[in-house]
Amino acid sequence: MKHEAKKINLIMNELINLMVRNGAEDIDINIKHRGEISELTLIHRNCHYSPQFVEEIRYDLSSQRQCELEGYYWQLVGDDEPSEELHLVGAMVDEAEVELINNDLHIKVTRNEKKC
């Protein structure tokens, strides 16, 4: 897909922006490409998010992938309100895992470039 690298970049940037807007000073980032599958992992170390905030992130990222939405609106990521951008990211990924482990927020999203 000709825009796949840019989509991965936008997804990663939005997740980083979420953490930076919430005071992140220590973020680990990992991007793995396995054929058609991309795994993006971010860990915000020593954060102090409420369980409700973590659940909101999980909810936004866990919406079902929406190919029709992605086809028209992926370029809007980064140009709208933060909560709506995260929902757009959720519509662009196939799977999302969000966990708070010992004050570290772990976000892992997976995307299959050939799905849409």
**Percent helix / strand / coil, the chain, rounded to 5:** 40, 30, 30
Summarize the confidence of residues 76-102 as an average pLDDT.
77
Looking at the predicted structure, is the pLDDT value of residue 73 above 60?
no
Looking at the predicted structure, is the pLDDT value of residue 1 above 80?
no
pLDDT in tens, 11-69: 898 899 889 988 899 999 999 999 999 999 999 999 989 999 999 999 999 888 877 76
Higher pLDDT, 30 or 79: 30
